[in-house]
Structure 1
């Protein structure tokens, strides 16, 4: 962190494959658009589907409830209900977005210093959401560049996704699942005053607990997230 002396910093997952000139072209976005603080690209999975984490909204209380209740899936084109999945925005086109993935995240160094880099309270998962939340809180713009992409072998570290390229021990998968739920709890603790009223927070807290138990049960019988 102290040794970085550059205008931009790129965070890139090790379980990814660069496609074309994605790095050069996303750098060009920041060069040409001084109003943009961070930029992500289209992140594709080996099965040809979009890794939704590269194109999503922030997990406000309403966005979270809509996502967990299935309303986001029922009304995918509604900004009101699909705020978290952001499916109301066409991912084939470039636009401003609330949250991108740490799988590929290019950011201005001066902004990175302002948001204090990665929040080390997060062990695994959630730190990219935290960073995007802080950028937006500063009034910064985050950009999704649809014309550039990378391939993500998602789950190669956690073992939680069928798109993983390598086998992962069961102990690691369980630890990763617990860490994902832990990340949700951290975000709620840090920002609940800004996210919604206390009674609703309690419902979300219960939802996190149930989701964790459900995912751990799937792992116990040898299943993965997806």
Structure 2
């Protein structure tokens, strides 16, 4: 098998169906399979998807896996990763659609350089703007400070201040980066054997950055490839600006986990204390402001 595509479903029937259709409606010059892992949706979406794609299941093109409880994005993806032997594994969000020959281009690019461990494509939002999360630097102390203080927003063309989302680089060029977004991450199977599965201590944020950190630390390249594209309906299943408190908490908890795992031992207790204070005070502020959103 050339590639296993993993899509995690959690109460996103329409979006998940759209993502699957964007793959199977195209002719591909490679062998592929799709794993749909349901994160205990309990809303009927999983059963409807199984019914819609019953033929593809019979043809072994799509494999449906139901998790008995929602243990997070990393956990769900790992269930499928543990079952596949394909040369490449693609993490694909349920709220995305594959554009044109994106998959073929990405596989060919990976084949051209055996040192590439993970590859991300150009991810655009429905309005055509770039989803900035698709190419990032690791959030070390300096990079995080520039982002949290707003300097990255004020000076996006600065190599120093715009380093987190690499806003100073041309989005239509291809280059090596630190980190990709889990909405679309193509990873070589040999790389996964080398560095291990996604860290399940992350619930739904941060696991992609952590994986990229481990991939790069093991000597593999991570590439942003602009010639291939997907559309990301970010937050497409939620028309409200108000976020669930749990999601806000998990976002900042992921920051805490990542820093504690990769940076804590590199800095003094004073720096560490300042970082943790910054993370959780910002969390408290976001939680408070969220109360007034509709």
TM-score interval w.r.t. the shorter chain?
0.7 to 0.9
Aligned to 2:284: 213
Cα distance in 1 for partners of 2:155, 2:269 equals 26
Q: Which residue of 1 aligns with 2:248?
A: 177
Task: Report the 3-state secondary structure (helix = DSSP H, G, I; strand = E; otherwise coil) of the residue aligned with 2:121.
Answer: strand
Query: For the residues of structure 1 that align with 2:249 and 2:141, how far apart are their CA atoms?
Result: 21
Question: Can you give the 5+ residue segments of structure 1 that lack an aligned partner in the other structure?
Answer: 156-163
Question: Is the deviation greater in 46-55 or in 78-87?
Answer: 78-87
Matched, 1:191 2:262: yes
Residue in 2 that maps onto 1:149: 229
> What's 1:161 paired with?
none
Q: Does 1:44 align with 2:124?
A: yes
1:28-43 equivalence runs, <5 A = 28-43=108-123
Structure 2's unaligned 5+ residue stretches are 1-80
Deviation at 1:166?
4.1
Name which structure has the greater RCO, CA cutoff 8 Å, separation 6+. 1
Equivalent of residue 141 in structure 2, options 61, 75, 85:
61
Q: 1:9 aligns with which of 73, 83, 89?
A: 89
CA spacing shift, 1:94–1:195, aligned 2, 3 Å: farther
Alignment check: 8 A CA contact 2:241 2:293 kept: no
Aligned partners of 1:67 and 1:73 also within 8 Å: yes
Does the 8 Å contact 1:60/1:195 carry over to 2? no
- For the residues of structure 2 that align with 1:134 and 1:33, how far apart are their CA atoms? 19
Count of residue pairs the alignment pairs up: 214
Give the match for residue 207 of structure 2.
127
Structure having the higher Rg: 2
Q: Deviations over 1:127-186 (max 9, x none)?
A: 00000110111121100011111111112xxxxxxxx2445797x721111110110110
Corresponding position of 1:105? 185
Q: Quick check: 1:67–1:85 contact (8 Å CA) kept in 2?
A: no
CA drift at 1:76: 2.1
Using a 3 Å threshold, how does the CA distance of structure 1 residues 90 and 183 change in structure 2: closer, same or farther? Answer: same
